[in-house]
């Protein structure tokens, strides 16, 4: 009676019609032992005017559903045929039964259940020769960070009592690959784990891992698992600072340690005074951001690519200026004259009738702590004026007076020494031979003396000009 029911169920093609898609299941092998897989052909008709993705699974713990491919992509208003395996688990019972299969549309989220009939035969372990039948399940991460080792776990279960001396296990994909041979006893369950160390710079991509079981040249089971290499990008900044005398050199290296290209803005802060003395290679523009100054570096790097920036802050120019100023001051104090001479002219009488009489004042001062010896002061009176002879009470009398009709009169004073910080004032009066209207120029006073090293040195006073403005 059970066989008759089974035959009636297998003759009828199971067909279910949905609002948006239609599914048709045709048995290929639906009479199996517990260590065998039931085989069906599945046709999905997509009645939408756009592409749809379908997923097939079973909520029953006694059966596993496996399709090739696992995610079914069906074009608009067309159909697709695929293979479906129903794999018995350890809880599968013998006899006729219906396995509930769920077909779900990702576009409309519509899900319907299909009852797939099949028959599981009971057998005697002594009257049947076993064929290899191994359950295979693959566990791994769907999204893989290439910096983290990838663990792939395989669950294996021998569905019958057949002892397998050499079970070949192979894992292969575009990025992964490994093989091993293990013994496998009858009804044994085991878990194998494989660890893969990927290149951290593996670019983002989708890949498919295929796990295959062989005995000899015969494929016993095969499972495919989709996974994706995720993208990441870390811009690592390294600094090396070298400080020298009044100069700082900072080498900055930015490296992209990710597996995709990335862009970054690097901000190097500088203070107001530093702006005048900083330069960069490559040359960066200065920007004011919220009242603070920065060198801004726009950089784009591909995976494992690096770029270098050198920022140099050089205050040596300030040092050079200070040293030059100090040197100038030192040289000034070294080479300046120890004797200071200044000349003044005072007009005597009313200037309304012109310049007729003048008083000449010569100031002489030793501005050092050393004694100045053998001083000679020489002053010249223009030919249009003449010296007024008078008593030299309170001032130094000329030691020599020379007259020349064209060149004028030459006055000469001699001093044996000038004490440290001593001042002398020499005065004399002159009278113009004619009344001078406008102005008169008087020559510089010449002073000769011996330096501490015994060399003769000559200095001059300022020029004097007397001018009368008539209003």
Average pLDDT of 19-35? 87
**102 in a structural domain:** yes
Compute the distance between CA of residue 21 and CA of residue 73 in angstroms, rounded to an integer. 13
> Residue 364's CB: how many other CB atoms inside 10 A?
23
Per-residue pLDDT at 11: 42
The one-character DSSP state at 317 is H
In terms of domains, do 344 and 461 share one? yes
CA distances (Å), origin 324, targets 245, 328, 329: 17, 6, 9
Per-residue pLDDT at 340: 94
CA distances (Å), origin 466, targets 119, 356, 371: 140, 12, 34
Per-residue pLDDT at 7: 45
In terms of domains, do 158 and 203 share one? yes
Q: Which residue in 14, 16, 38, 25 sits closest to 119, CA to CA?
A: 38
**128 in a structural domain:** no
Per-residue pLDDT at 431: 86
Cα atoms in the Cβ-side hemisphere of radius 13 Å centred on 431: 6
pLDDT band at 12 (very low <50, low <70, confident <90, very high): very low
* pTM (global) more than 0.85: no
In terms of domains, do 241 and 190 share one? no
Compute the distance between CA of residue 366 and CA of residue 390 in angstroms, rounded to an integer. 28
Number of domains in the chain: 4
Average pLDDT of 99-120? 90
pLDDT band at 18 (very low <50, low <70, confident <90, very high): very low
Tens digit of pLDDT for each residue in 416-433? 999 999 999 999 998 887
Contact 96, 109 (CB under 8 A): no
Identify the domain containing residue 161 by its residue range: 134-229
pLDDT of 446 over the 70 cut: yes
Contact 341, 448 (CB under 8 A): no
Give 74 or 334, the one with higher predicted confidence: 74
Q: What CATH number has the domain bearing residue 307?
A: 2.60.40.2960
> Residue 87's CB: how many other CB atoms inside 10 A?
19
pLDDT of 141 over the 90 cut: yes
Among residues 229, 258, 287, the one where a domain terminates is: 229
pLDDT band at 124 (very low <50, low <70, confident <90, very high): low
Average pLDDT of 30-36? 84
Average pLDDT, the chain: 87
């Amino acid at each position: 009676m059970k066989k008759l029911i089974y035959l009636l169920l297998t003759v009828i093609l199971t067909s279910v019609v949905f609002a948006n898609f239609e599914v048709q299941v045709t048995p290929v092998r639906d009479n199996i032992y517990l260590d065998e897989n039931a085989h069906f052909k599945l046709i999905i008709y997509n009645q939408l005017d756009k592409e749809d993705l379908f997923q097939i699974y079973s909520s029953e713990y006694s059966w596993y559903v496996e399709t090739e491919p696992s995610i079914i992509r069906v074009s608009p208003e067309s159909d697709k045929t695929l293979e479906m395996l129903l794999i018995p688990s350890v809880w599968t019972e013998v006899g006729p039964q219906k396995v509930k299969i769920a077909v779900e549309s990702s576009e409309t989220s519509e899900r319907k259940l299909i009852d797939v009939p099949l028959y599981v035969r009971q057998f005697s372990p002594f009257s049947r020769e076993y064929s290899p039948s191994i359950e295979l399940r693959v566990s791994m991460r769907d999204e893989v960070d290439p910096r983290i080792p990838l663990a792939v776990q395989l669950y294996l279960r021998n569905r019958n009592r057949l002892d397998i001396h050499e079970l070949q296990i192979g894992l292969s994909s575009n990025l992964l690959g490994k093989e091993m041979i293990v013994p496998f006893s009858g009804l044994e369950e085991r878990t194998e784990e494989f660890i893969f160390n990927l290149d951290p710079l593996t670019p983002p991509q989708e890949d498919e891992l295929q796990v295959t079981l062989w005995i000899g040249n015969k494929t016993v089971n095969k499972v495919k698992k989709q996974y994706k290499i995720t993208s990441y990008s870390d811009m690592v900044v390294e600094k090396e600072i070298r400080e020298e005398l009044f100069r700082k050199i900072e080498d900055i290296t930015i490296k992209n340690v990710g597996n995709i290209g990335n862009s970054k803005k690097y901000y190097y802060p500088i203070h107001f005074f530093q702006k005048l003395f900083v330069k960069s290679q490559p040359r960066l523009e200065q920007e004011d951001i919220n009242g603070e100054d920065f060198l801004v570096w726009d950089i784009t790097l591909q995976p494992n690519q690096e770029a270098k920036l050198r920022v140099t802050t050089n205050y040596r120019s300030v040092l050079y200026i200070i040293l030059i100023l100090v040197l100038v001051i030192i040289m000034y104090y070294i080479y300046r004259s120890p004797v200071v001479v200044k000349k003044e002219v005072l007009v005597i009488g009313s200037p309304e009738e012109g310049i007729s009489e003048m008083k000449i004042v010569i100031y002489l001062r030793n501005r050092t702590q050393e004694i100045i010896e053998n001083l000679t002061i020489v002053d010249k009176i223009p030919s249009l004026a003449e010296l007024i002879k008078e008593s030299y009470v309170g001032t130094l009398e000329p030691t020599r007076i020379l007259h020349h009709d064209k060149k004028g009169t030459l006055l000469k004073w001699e001093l044996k020494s000038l004490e440290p910080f001593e001042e002398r004032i020499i005065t004399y009066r002159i009278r113009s031979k004619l009344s001078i209207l406008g102005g008169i120029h008087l020559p510089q006073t010449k002073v000769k003396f011996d330096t501490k090293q015994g060399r003769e040195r000559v200095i001059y006073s300022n020029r004097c000009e007397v001018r009368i403005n008539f209003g």
